[in-house]
Structure 1
Amino acid sequence: MLASSVLPTPSIDPIHSINPAVIGADLSDCCGEERSPAAVSSVCLDKPLDWRGVAQIANGARLVLSPSARSRIDHARALVEQIVERRIRAYGVNTGVGALCDVVVSPSEQRALSRNILMSHSVGVGEPLRREETRAIIAAAVNNFAHGHSGVRLELVELLVTLLDSGLIPEVPAFGSVGYLSHMAHIALVLIGEGFVRDDTGRMSAAGALQRLAREPLVLEAKEGLSVVNGTPCVTGLASLALARTERLLEWADTISAMSFENLRGQAAAFDADSLALRISPGLSLVGAHLRALLADSGIIAASFGRKTQDPLSLRTIPHVHGAARDVFATTAEVVNRELASVTDNPVVAGTLASPRVFSQAHAVGASIGLAMDSLSTAVAEVAAMAERRIDRLVNPLVSGLPAFLADGGGTCSGFMIAQYTAASLVAHNRRLAMPASLDGGITSGLQEDHLCHATPAALKALEIIANAERILAIELLAAAQAYDLQPADLSRAPKTDAIYRSVRAVISQYRDDRPLAGDIAAAWAFVHEANPGF
């Protein structure tokens, strides 16, 4: 079979292991709707979403507001109206923003303030975010409003949900945020008939999109301009996607590393359960169990028993490195879920209609999630860096015991020689990207905002590192499959690694320098990105 960059439609959802407590079957409980099991998956926003719910919405599920969420949103709006009526001083409601926080804004100017905030904060540059990234941010923003402390009108939130349902996704430039402002400003522009949206057919004006939806542009009321740009929806939305992709990547990393370990005749004692139990790490224990299952009944491993005292670190420390990354993943997931459960607006409204309260604080600053994204980036980059070391061992005849560079034939074929260069380049790029965004600092708004956490940039570069890591693993997968083709015929693969090998060979044939290898790498990336690693 010839290699192909077009794979069959995968049989599993790209975002897997979704928490059933937030989708489909529970809609009748929290949203008062009955749905058949065949209905399009939906996420009901009653209690705060978790990262899996946000990722599900990002990838196409419907977002449905529960009655209690609607009630909380309405109550918070009523509090804002009381604050305006009683002229209780509140940042961004009846004052300017940033360094203008002490400038009082009259009731007649509050609509203009809200609109002007959107205009002045829409400063993004660069290529637009991908569709699923913008959907994730919108889902996280709706989640934040549904806490009932922001004070936007229900009709504003419903219009955001309508955009998700319609597939008319705001065009949001990727760069320009030191924390959270510009991305949400570009999303909110669409609500007032400004900016642009994209759908499956291309680009259109926001005004045209609202006409298609038979909706009038909103006129923003007091506080709404600030609320729609504030908080941490940008980083929590992007972080939820990063977690979903990392979860899949780590499963593939275990699977592909097992294939390389088998090809390189590793000593299975490195994965002994009693030995690994001496180091306390949930991730290490899990990876060790995965590797033992993957390599069970391997004829290649059995034939290699006792031939070496111990393997190089890129082989025998797979449980330790992958396990450490899984532990970081678990911690990051906890941080993101805490962030989604938190109120991250500024100011926050609370209390009763008789006694409304305003808290002007720094809850919109995403220090904890920025640090978590930096940590996840480093963990993924390390997993990918070790994968590149295994690729090098597979192609190096001095250590692999296989033909040089896994090439077919003599010196006329280069095989995977230069593919290893590509992996090394991506590892180096990840190393540059993994520098912590949290330490970048900076001073903005006339010294009023004199410490910056760069949480959203941390999430954006985490997504880039994950994409590079997927490509590195794709190259390792190709090299491992090629190495199997070159093993002696009388040595059998483990049943589980054999199943992966056969799945790869169903779409990508053995490489013989007979086509550009870039096409194989693209096809292998698609396989890693979409297919089921077997767990």
Structure 2
Amino acid sequence: MAVIRSERPLVWRDIAAVAAGEPLQLTDTARARIRAARDLVEQIVVRGIRAYGVNTGVGALCDVVVSPAEQHDLSHNILMSHAVGVGAPLGAQETRAIMAAAINNFAHGHSGVRVELVAQLEALLEADCLPEVPAFGSVGYLSHMAHIALVCVGAGHVRWHGERLSGAQALERLGLQPLALQAKEGLSLVNGTPCVTGLAALALERAQRLLDWADAVAAMSFENLGGQLAAFDAQSLAYRVSPGLAQVGARMRAALADSGLLAAALGRRTQDPLSMRTIAHVHGAARDVLAATAEVVNRELASVTDNPIVDGTPDAPQVFSQAHAVGASIALAMDSTAAAVAQVAAMAERRLDRLVNPLVSGLPAFLAHAGGTRSGFMIAQYTAASLVAQNRRDAAPASLDGGVTSGLQEDHLCHATPAALKALAVIENSSRILGIELLAAAQAYDLQPVVAIRASYTEALYGRIRTVLPTYCDDRPLAGDMSVAFRMIADGGPPPLPGPLDAHGPLDLERPACTPQPALHEVAPGAAPSANDALVDAIGR
């Protein structure tokens, strides 16, 4: 279903939908606003009204006046000089998200670009002909949008149908002509916060899915470890005011309500360790952070973030050249999101450690069949611990990095886009950590010494895993299983909670037999699909 940009700005879910492949369409009223803003820029040029980046240089060159004859060169040269990104290119979803956020910003009607330029971006999105955008090298927002805009003038590169093309080749195949940029367009294409806002929308979507999985996987570990359900008592949780905590508590009660394993463990301990009894508190706090972040991202999408902003009428054009392109609020929100997700993942690794530790789990050491000759999940926990440490490094706040650029003119930097890229990295690492916990929890069920039924919900989730992966017996590289679990978490949600649960028939309380299994693996781009790929494709679809 197409996402429509009308008189109302897009919200983060709209950006995420376009990133996933939905088309983006502008209404006639949105195009009219873009044309009206362009008329204002043309009047500014004709009247010689001094305006940053229109008839002056940029950055520390803001006091250098540029003649009307040089304004095309100024716009063109801004793209060339600002396209300084380095490193591996962004993924398709990340690039689409940034382009959608940029189009949304132009549709406010205060940027001053031509409708033809916006249509060029729309055509690239519609064809999924995506500019090649190096991920790194920006302290704010400039280089990513510059690399996208290069294609509009026939420069840069794109990825299309698995092929790398020059910008000129891509436009030719689409039946489009390279644009000659006019006054202000170069600056409008590279400034503002569309880059971080697009990435932030993706981070929200992925983090929300990850937190749904975190609740589901935590329920499995909690059940295997014989936790005390009092940790999720509604009356007890109500003493702390937190919408997220209340939501997670309800989800955990729904997931574990009919667990025979937990009924057997009732009263075994006065208090569980913190990694178990604070699931609602930690996961709930993370959900509260996401709710606050969503509000910030939606405000950003509703804001005009150009410098300068054009307004007024053709008879009385106005120029506001201040600091709306600085993304302080969204930088802070992305830093908070990264820290919140990192904390959830750190606690998941602590539950994983309890599952593999026979001193506290009551399960075979390292969840290994026939301990001694088999290591089970011993080293997988090392991997999780390594990823937690990586998250700790990545969750350090980018918004405090500071720095000085442009000859002291830009002497305070918020690092908003790097903050979003770090948040996305933390979310990916955390999905891998939860994937390892998910595998370990399923393995723990196979080795569970207590003969009692699992909760209906955890049984459904266990069944989903065992449909595609057998119990682990050191008979194949465990990395293959971890890859499948990661794709399960990254590509789709867990069984819904709360609500009706799928029936999976009678429970089999016997341990599955250990039989040699082929290795599962991540397939390199362009490689032929294997039988194992069909298993990966079946997960979460």
TM-score class, shorter-chain normalisation, is over 0.9
* Pairing 1:44–2:12 present: no
Of 70, 81, 91, the match for 1:130: 91
1:296 aligns to what?
A: 257
Of 112, 124, 143, the match for 2:104: 143
Q: Give secondary structure in 2 for the equivalent of 1:85.
A: helix
2:51 aligns to what?
A: 90
* Pairing 1:332–2:332 present: no
Counterpart-to-counterpart distance in 2, 1:201 and 1:470: 27
Of 192, 198, 214, the match for 1:237: 198
Amino acid at match of 1:43: V
* Pairing 1:266–2:266 present: no
Q: Determine if contact 2:436/2:482 at 8 Å carries over to the other structure.
A: yes
Counterpart-to-counterpart distance in 1, 2:487 and 2:187: 40
Amino acid at match of 2:276: L
Counterpart-to-counterpart distance in 1, 2:386 and 2:24: 40
1:526 aligns to what?
A: 487
Q: Give secondary structure in 1 for the equivalent of 2:266.
A: coil
Q: TM-score under structure 2 normalisation?
A: 0.91
Which string of whole-angstrom CA distances, capped at 9 and with x for unpartnered residues, describes residues 93-113 of structure 1?
000000000000000000000
Deviation for aligned residue 1:202: 1.8
1:464 aligns to what?
A: 425
Of 170, 174, 181, the match for 1:213: 174
Deviation for aligned residue 1:489: 6.6
Deviation for aligned residue 1:262: 0.2
Of 387, 391, 395, the match for 2:348: 387
Of 73, 79, 85, the match for 2:40: 79
Q: CA RMSD in A?
A: 0.6
2:469 aligns to what?
A: 508
1:154 aligns to what?
A: 115
In the TM superposition, what are the counterparts of 1:450-461 in structure 2 within 5 Å? 450-461=411-422
Which string of whole-angstrom CA distances, capped at 9 and with x for unpartnered residues, describes residues 434-475 of structure 1?
110001000000000000000000000100000000000000
Which string of whole-angstrom CA distances, capped at 9 and with x for unpartnered residues, describes residues 182-225 of structure 1?
00000000000001000222201100000001111000000000
* Pairing 1:313–2:265 present: no
Deviation for aligned residue 1:532: 2.8
* Pairing 1:349–2:310 present: yes
Deviation for aligned residue 1:527: 1.1
Amino acid at match of 1:307: R
* Pairing 1:377–2:338 present: yes
Counterpart-to-counterpart distance in 2, 1:97 and 1:326: 40
Q: Give secondary structure in 1 for the equivalent of 2:146.
A: helix
Counterpart-to-counterpart distance in 2, 1:486 and 1:200: 47
Amino acid at match of 1:215: L
Amino acid at match of 2:45: V
Deviation for aligned residue 1:117: 0.3
Q: Give secondary structure in 1 for the equivalent of 2:190.
A: coil
* Pairing 1:360–2:299 present: no
Counterpart-to-counterpart distance in 2, 1:506 and 1:314: 29
Q: Give secondary structure in 1 for the equivalent of 2:304.
A: coil
**Greater relative CO, 1 or 2 (CA 8 Å, sep 6+):** 1
Deviation for aligned residue 1:364: 0.3
* Pairing 1:187–2:148 present: yes
Counterpart-to-counterpart distance in 2, 1:137 and 1:66: 20
Amino acid at match of 2:134: P
Counterpart-to-counterpart distance in 2, 1:114 and 1:63: 26
Q: Give secondary structure in 2 for the equivalent of 1:506.
A: helix
Amino acid at match of 2:360: V
Amino acid at match of 1:133: E
**Number of residue pairs aligned between Structure 1 and Structure 2:** 495
Q: Give secondary structure in 2 for the equivalent of 1:420.
A: helix
Deviation for aligned residue 1:530: 2.1
Counterpart-to-counterpart distance in 2, 1:411 and 1:52: 50
Which string of whole-angstrom CA distances, capped at 9 and with x for unpartnered residues, describes residues 375-433 of structure 1?
00000000000000000000000000000000011310000000000000000000011
Deviation for aligned residue 1:490: 2.7
Deviation for aligned residue 1:171: 0.3
* Pairing 1:70–2:19 present: no
Which string of whole-angstrom CA distances, capped at 9 and with x for unpartnered residues, describes residues 139-174 of structure 1?
000000000000000000011000001111000000
Counterpart-to-counterpart distance in 2, 1:366 and 1:197: 27
* Pairing 1:405–2:382 present: no
Counterpart-to-counterpart distance in 2, 1:219 and 1:292: 61
Counterpart-to-counterpart distance in 2, 1:508 and 1:531: 17
Q: Give secondary structure in 1 for the equivalent of 2:165.
A: strand
Counterpart-to-counterpart distance in 2, 1:190 and 1:199: 13
In the TM superposition, what are the counterparts of 1:274-285 in structure 2 within 5 Å? 274-285=235-246
2:447 aligns to what?
A: 486
Q: Give secondary structure in 2 for the equivalent of 1:351.
A: strand
Deviation for aligned residue 1:531: 3.2
Q: Determine if contact 2:261/2:450 at 8 Å carries over to the other structure.
A: no
Q: Determine if contact 2:209/2:492 at 8 Å carries over to the other structure.
A: no
Unaligned runs of 5+ in 1: 1-40
Q: Determine if contact 2:86/2:137 at 8 Å carries over to the other structure.
A: yes
Amino acid at match of 2:117: L
Deviation for aligned residue 1:487: 1.3
Counterpart-to-counterpart distance in 2, 1:531 and 1:118: 38
Counterpart-to-counterpart distance in 2, 1:420 and 1:490: 26
Amino acid at match of 2:491: E
1:396 aligns to what?
A: 357
Q: Give secondary structure in 2 for the equivalent of 1:228.
A: helix
Counterpart-to-counterpart distance in 2, 1:413 and 1:220: 65
Counterpart-to-counterpart distance in 2, 1:534 and 1:359: 50
Counterpart-to-counterpart distance in 2, 1:181 and 1:109: 22
Counterpart-to-counterpart distance in 1, 2:38 and 2:116: 11
Counterpart-to-counterpart distance in 2, 1:107 and 1:439: 40
Q: Determine if contact 2:352/2:381 at 8 Å carries over to the other structure.
A: yes
Amino acid at match of 2:152: L
Counterpart-to-counterpart distance in 1, 2:21 and 2:325: 27
1:3 aligns to what?
A: none
Amino acid at match of 1:247: Q
% identity of equivalent residues: 71
